[in-house]
Amino acid sequence: MRVALFTTCLAEALAPRALKAAVLVLEHCGVAPEVPLAQTCCGQPMLSNGLPADAATLARRMCAVFAPYDAVVTPSGSCASVVREKYAVLFDAGSADRAAAEALAAKTYELIEFLETRLGVDPTSLKGRPCAPLTCHDACHLRGLHRHGCTAPFLSRAGCGEVRELPDMAQCCGFGGMFSTQFPEVSTALGDEKLAHVSSTGAGTLVASDTGCAAHLAGLAHRKGVALRVISPAEALAESLGLLETGAPNGGKP
Amino acid sequence: MNPLIAPQLPFDMKPRAREAVRDLKLQQFVGNATHLKDTQRGGIFDRDFGLEYDDLRTVARDTKQHALDHLDELLERFIANAEASGAHIHAATTGREACAIALDIARVHHAKSCVKSKSMVTEEIGLLPAFEAAGIKTLETDLGEFILQIDGDAPSHIVTPMIHKDRVATAKSFVRELGSRYTEDPEELTKIAREHMRGLYRAADIGVSGANFLLADEGSAVICTNEGNFDLSVGGPPVHIVFVGIEKLIRGARDLAPFLKLLARSGTAQPLTIYTSFVRGPRHAGEHGGPRELHFVLVDAGRVGVLASEKRDLLRCIRCGACLNACPVYRKVGGHSYGSVYAGPIGAVLTPELERAQSGSNGLTNYPDLPRASSLCGACYEACPVKIDIPKFLLHDRARLRERGLSPASEESVLRVWRWLAERPALFRLAIGAARLHARMLGQREVAQDGERAWLTRAPGPGAGWTATRDLGFATGESFREWFAKHDNARGAR
């Protein structure tokens, strides 16, 4: 099986460690992912902001770039959902583009989903070593993939350590792409509420299954001087499996 | 109409949203109530239907869609059957027409007073102001609506109209407007309102209500309430007028069950509303209750236009309010921020669409913020008992906003440049590298065990909205591609 890592632009810019972790975890599970060099952006920002034709241009590129692979895996919940749920309707039924979009949708997975549903990894077989207590916020876009709420149980069963239940996990963190700058007060208020729930768990590490949500929550915490480490599910797994060094909460001085 | 729900157009949502976010009381009342109802909704569906909940929603979706697809036929059948039962049927193309029909009926009966039970469509068409202007004293008999009425306030939620108010405000207005003693006890307050209303029911010349469903086979209306005020308003006055949007039609009682199962559970987490009233025809010979004259005003007010558009799914809405309770944005900004009778996710898509269908305008010029006021989290779609894909329609409207130049051009340039770069992988990688370099040069650098980060605290251009409240952290070490190239080489060598 040829597996491609769909890196996403946000993760390449902000969170290279999440991508590194995804590669290491996949290798640990017996898959050596390739990284197609020509991949760029999936078009989510255009799609979500009223530019479907621009999104379609990028969707066509994505279909071509990932055509040679059997599976496409990404550590970002929202980018996965765009490919899976939004690509096909950009093109006319019966067109070649539509068929390509449907083919890409059918083989695209969020990382944890890929491990669990495509590779059939039993998380308990991973036998990770417990790391510091963590709590987990799933990206809202995992709803559409029927994967909302699946990350925490997976990490817990994989032995990542104590996974504390995040109160009101179902509520959006307020990121929402450009919504975060269009309605900054509302976005921030939602983020603050999420951080208050995170803090109520006492966990020093937050696992967020989307790079955007992670950047929003980490950025809010950092602005407030709250010591909170925000990582991806891939990093939590990689750390627990000893593939990456465990980090400390951010906020340290160089 | 109250400017809170009928603001000056074009409507600017942002100041209201900003104010609402800062209003700690509103945050508390709306936040607590919506969370509670949303949680209870999930709980009661789990308990009563488990995995079959989704099937039930599918049945309701298909049943309502089928009804909408056969609306002509159902309307004819309803009219024939309702007329056979002795009811009068009126059709109103516009809200104004609907009000005029009611005023005519009132004039014939020399009506001076009216008791009204809760109805969204009467809010939509502005019936109460029309009645008041004609000198018909109108009493809102739903407790929440009554409190809003005596306070000169406006509803902010489809099902729980005074969700933004608390007991203290209610207690004060009762003292001021009804001359009652001060109490914050809900039971006491309800008792005071009841005493105030009882006599007015008996004295009223006209009763007015909405309807949750119209049954074509039976020619009757179904009204779901919790307070029994509808039954009093239909039982007391000699004339009753039911205002109802034409999208409320279903085939008949044979199709009603899934909706009754879903409506109360979705709205208030009850298995059924306390009262489920069926109204068919006026009082017949030998009957002891009911109005001597029963009128149905079938309101179009844009619905036919919606039906013919790609947004026809919106007409499936049964006004349960579940999407409002589930919506993170509604929870933070409250109903009045939407500047419409219909707030929350459904309001954000329905308000511009009804306006478009009625005015012939594009509908969005007057409400440019509504499609954007969403994080697209999808909680509304998940909560909707008739599976209206609200996020899909928000995206649709965002595209219409762009086409009409109603979204900021600066945003569009950024997105277009981004797209242009994304078609050129080498340049795109350079751009990402430049962003990372920018952060490394200008950001606050901090070292953690998992690597160094640079935090931007003031981003340029479109990033400024971000850094108003947040920092933006970049990992400063080698890029993923650099790491992977080495890793892949080593992998090949192994």
Residue B315: CA count within 13 A, CB half-sphere: 32
Q: Give domain status of residue A251, yes or no.
A: no
Option in A37, A223, A248 nearest B425 (CB): A37
- Residue B7 has a pLDDT of 96
What's the gap in Å between the CA of B32 and the closest CA on chain A?
12
DSSP 8-class letter at B476: -
Q: Give domain status of residue B225, yes or no.
A: yes
* Exposure string over B276-298, b if 16+ CB within 10 A, otherwise e: bbebbbbbeeeeeebbebbbbbb
- Residue B18: closest CA among chain A residues belongs to which residue? A185
Q: Give domain status of residue B360, yes or no.
A: no
Q: Which residues of A touch B389 (CB under 8 A)?
A: none
Query: Which tens digits make up the pLDDT trace of B375-428?
Result: 999 999 999 999 999 999 999 999 999 999 999 999 999 999 999 999 999 999
Tokens matching residue B374: 């969403």
- Residue B441 has a pLDDT of 94
- Residue ending a domain, among B260, B276, B305, is B305
Do B297 and B416 fall within a single domain? no
Q: Give domain status of residue B142, yes or no.
A: yes
Q: Test B435 with A13 for CB contact under 8 angstroms.
A: yes
- Residue B193 has a pLDDT of 93
Q: Give domain status of residue A188, yes or no.
A: yes
Q: Test A17 with B466 for CB contact under 8 angstroms.
A: no
pLDDT greater than 60 at residue B50? yes
Q: Give me the domain span that covers residue A213.
A: 124-240
Q: Give domain status of residue B486, yes or no.
A: yes
Q: Give domain status of residue A246, yes or no.
A: no
Q: Give domain status of residue A148, yes or no.
A: yes
Q: Please report which helix (H) or strand (E) contains residue B176, including its range.
A: helix B167-178
Q: Mean pLDDT over residues A187-191, rounded?
A: 98
Chain B segment 399-438 residues within 8 A of A by beta carbon are 399-403, 407, 411-412, 415-416, 418-419, 421-423, 425, 428, 432, 435-436
Q: Test A23 with B451 for CB contact under 8 angstroms.
A: no
Interface membership of B325 toward A (CB under 8 Å): no
pLDDT greater than 80 at residue A249? no
Do B53 and B186 fall within a single domain? yes
Query: Which tens digits make up the pLDDT trace of B123-162?
Result: 999 999 999 999 999 999 999 999 999 999 999 999 999 9
Query: Which tens digits make up the pLDDT trace of A40-98?
Result: 999 999 999 999 999 999 999 999 999 999 999 999 999 999 999 999 999 999 999 99
Q: Test B375 with A45 for CB contact under 8 angstroms.
A: no
pLDDT greater than 50 at residue B1? yes
Query: Which tens digits make up the pLDDT trace of B161-218?
Result: 999 998 888 899 999 999 999 999 989 999 999 999 998 999 999 999 999 999 999 9
Rounded-to-integer distance, Cα A56 and Cα A45, Å: 12
- Residue ending a domain, among A118, A138, A157, is A118
Rounded-to-integer distance, Cα A152 and Cα A158, Å: 10
Q: Test A253 with B446 for CB contact under 8 angstroms.
A: yes
Q: Give domain status of residue A254, yes or no.
A: no
Option in A16, A190, A235 nearest B483 (CB): A16
- Residue ending a domain, among B260, B287, B305, is B305
Q: Test A219 with B463 for CB contact under 8 angstroms.
A: no
Rounded-to-integer distance, Cα A8 and Cα A77, Å: 10
Of the pLDDT bands very low, low, confident and very high (cuts 50, 70, 90), residue B491 is confident
Q: Test A244 with B450 for CB contact under 8 angstroms.
A: yes
Q: Which residues of B touch A82 (CB under 8 A)?
A: none
Q: Test A41 with B375 for CB contact under 8 angstroms.
A: no
For an interface test with B, the pick among A37, A182, A231 (most B C-beta atoms closer than 10 Å) comes out as: A182
- Residue B66 has a pLDDT of 98
Option in A11, A176, A219 nearest B470 (CB): A219
Q: Give me the domain span that covers residue B450.
A: 410-493
Rounded-to-integer distance, Cα B68 and Cα B74, Å: 9
Helix, strand, coil shares of chain A as percentages rounded to 5? 50, 10, 35
Option in A54, A183, A220 nearest B470 (CB): A220
Query: Which tens digits make up the pLDDT trace of B308-318?
Result: 999 999 999 99
Option in A20, A57, A235 nearest B419 (CB): A57
Do A19 and A96 fall within a single domain? yes
Rounded-to-integer distance, Cα B377 and Cα B38, Å: 15
Q: Give domain status of residue A163, yes or no.
A: yes
Q: Test B448 with A249 for CB contact under 8 angstroms.
A: yes
For an interface test with B, the pick among A222, A231, A232 (most B C-beta atoms closer than 10 Å) comes out as: A222
- Residue ending a domain, among A73, A89, A118, is A118
Name the pTM for this structure: 0.96
For an interface test with B, the pick among A25, A28, A51 (most B C-beta atoms closer than 10 Å) comes out as: A51
Q: Give domain status of residue B53, yes or no.
A: yes
pLDDT greater than 70 at residue B295? yes
For an interface test with A, the pick among B329, B470, B479 (most A C-beta atoms closer than 10 Å) comes out as: B470
Q: Test B480 with A247 for CB contact under 8 angstroms.
A: no
Q: Which residues of A touch B416 (CB under 8 A)?
A: 51, 54
pLDDT greater than 70 at residue A252? no
> How many domains would you assign to chain A?
2
User: ipTM, 2 decimals?
Assistant: 0.95
What's the gap in Å between the CA of A45 and the closest CA on chain B?
7
- Label residue B378 left, alpha or beta by phi (over 0 means left) and psi (-120 to 50 means alpha): left
Do B424 and B296 fall within a single domain? no
Tokens matching residue A149: 């709420």
Query: Which tens digits make up the pLDDT trace of B427-453?
Result: 999 999 999 999 999 999 999 878 899
- Residue A14 has a pLDDT of 95
Q: Give domain status of residue B425, yes or no.
A: yes
In angstroms, how far apart are the furthest CA atoms of chain A?
57
In angstroms, how far apart are the furthest CA atoms of chain B?
97
- Residue ending a domain, among B281, B305, B329, is B305
Of the pLDDT bands very low, low, confident and very high (cuts 50, 70, 90), residue B366 is very high
Helix axis angle, B409-422 relative to A52-65, nearest 10°? 20
Do A144 and A216 fall within a single domain? yes
- Residue B24: closest CA among chain A residues belongs to which residue? A189
Average pLDDT, chain B: 95
Do A134 and A200 fall within a single domain? yes
Do A232 and A148 fall within a single domain? yes
> How many domains would you assign to chain B?
2
Option in B423, B447, B472 nearest A252 (CB): B447
Chain B segment 363-392 residues within 8 A of A by beta carbon are 372-379, 381-382
- Residue ending a domain, among A55, A85, A118, is A118
Q: Mean pLDDT over residues A221-237, rounded?
A: 96
What's B91's domain CATH number? 3.40.50.10420
Do B423 and B298 fall within a single domain? no
Residue with tokens 């029309």: B130
Q: Which residues of A touch B432 (CB under 8 A)?
A: 9, 12-13
CB A179 within 8 A of CB A211: no
What's the gap in Å between the CA of A156 and the closest CA on chain B?
22
Q: Give domain status of residue A248, yes or no.
A: no
Interface membership of B54 toward A (CB under 8 Å): no
Helices (H), B311-442: 322-326, 328-333, 344-359, 379-383, 390-403, 409-422, 425-442
Of the pLDDT bands very low, low, confident and very high (cuts 50, 70, 90), residue A247 is low
pLDDT greater than 90 at residue B360? no
Give first-to-last CA distance, chain A, whole Å: 43
Q: In what order do the strands lie in the sheet with B451-456?
A: B444-448, B451-456, B472-475
For an interface test with A, the pick among B329, B480, B491 (most A C-beta atoms closer than 10 Å) comes out as: B480
- Residue A253 has a pLDDT of 35
What's A177's domain CATH number? 3.40.50.1860
Interface membership of B457 toward A (CB under 8 Å): yes
